[in-house]
Amino acid sequence: MNAVWPVSGQNKGEINLKHSWKKLLSLVLVFTLLYPMLLPAAALADAAPGDVIVTLGENLSPADREKILAEMNETEETEIITVSNQEEREYLGDYISSSQIGTRALSSTKITLAEQGAGINVETNNITWVSEGMYANALVTAGVEDAEIYVTAPFPVSGTAALTGLIKAYEIAAEIEIPEEQKQVANEEMVRTAELAESIGVEEATELMNRIKEEIANNPVESEEDLRELIRRIAAELGIELTEQELDGLVSLFMRMKDLNINWDQVQDQISKVRDNLGEFLAREDTQNFISRFLEVIAQLIEALKGLFTSEA
């Protein structure tokens, strides 16, 4: 005969409580197992080296769109996002004229996530005003790391609008969100550097920006006057003479950078890799062949001009 023990009111409450907890834990377990299945595939896909995103200007003609995709060795199956002229104006309107921005979005880009530590490598085609180094520096400021970048257009354009697409693409590819103020500062840096390049040269302007960032990373400045002196000193070391207007513009830009939550150690590391990548580009055999052919053409032109002046004498 089995003994039956009476259950008190307190014991009944404990049993019900245990039963409730078991039900709750069962529901949590079921939800945990099902939750990944409820998420869209894109949300589960971790960013990985080799991932590619293409940005295309919204105003490309169908023929130009097809041509640019072929140039990038991509197809309509690639993940593609469009960039509008309005988006370009949002990020560039405070720094360059409306006429310079234009009314059509044509610049297009391809961004490929690279292995950790690879740095940023940029190649351009039909871009006349913004150099590879300028893009790389601005992307570093925006927080971009380790990526292969290609910027192009159907015909020669300034290239200022391409940064908008690059940052937009990187956010999607790397599954991160870059603060708006950081995007604005990156665009301002690109424009300021390109403007400086018109008066002091592309390499000089790019190196000046690099050196200022490296100095801030090593020795953070506290005041605007300290920053002004730092920029003056670095410019002098590089043999660069800045106008007061150029100096004021750089001080304003780097004060904005200073107030951002930028990882300056990361910036310094990426700048070093950008330098290495640009050096490798210049050392490549195809680049050297191009430079040699270019110098030969210049030499032939000089000889032709010398012959012309000799015959006239």
CB 56 within 8 A of CB 68: yes
Give the range of the structural domain holding residue 167, as residue numbers without chain letter.
52-281
Residue 189 included in any domain: yes
Please report which confidence band the pLDDT of residue 100 belongs to, taking 50, 70 and 90 as the band edges. confident
Beta bridge partner(s), residue 83 = 57
Amino acid identity, position 5: W
Residue 267 included in any domain: yes
- Tens-digit pLDDT profile for residues 238-280: 999 999 999 999 999 999 988 776 666 666 666 666 556 555 5
Name the residue among 171, 193, 192, 190 with its Cα closest to residue 180.
171
pLDDT score for 53: 92
Q: What average pLDDT does this structure show over 159-177?
A: 88
| Mean pLDDT value across the chain | 77
- Tens-digit pLDDT profile for residues 192-240: 999 999 999 999 999 999 899 889 888 888 899 999 999 999 999 999 9
Residue 22 included in any domain: no
Residue 291 included in any domain: no
Residue 113 included in any domain: yes
Per the listing, tokens 């005041």 go with 223
Q: How many domains does the chain have?
A: 1
Residue 39 included in any domain: no
Q: First-to-last CA distance in the chain?
A: 135
CB 127 within 8 A of CB 162: yes
Question: Helix 180-200 and helix 85-92: axis angle, to 10°?
Answer: 80
Question: For residue 49, is pLDDT > 50?
Answer: yes
Which residues are CB-neighbours of 268 under 8 A, at least 6 positions away? 213, 214, 217, 218
Q: What average pLDDT does this structure show over 50-55?
A: 92
- Tens-digit pLDDT profile for residues 106-153: 999 999 999 988 889 999 999 998 889 889 888 888 888 889 999 999
Question: For residue 51, is pLDDT > 60?
Answer: yes
Please report which confidence band the pLDDT of residue 73 belongs to, taking 50, 70 and 90 as the band edges. very high
Residue 68 included in any domain: yes
Residue 32 included in any domain: no
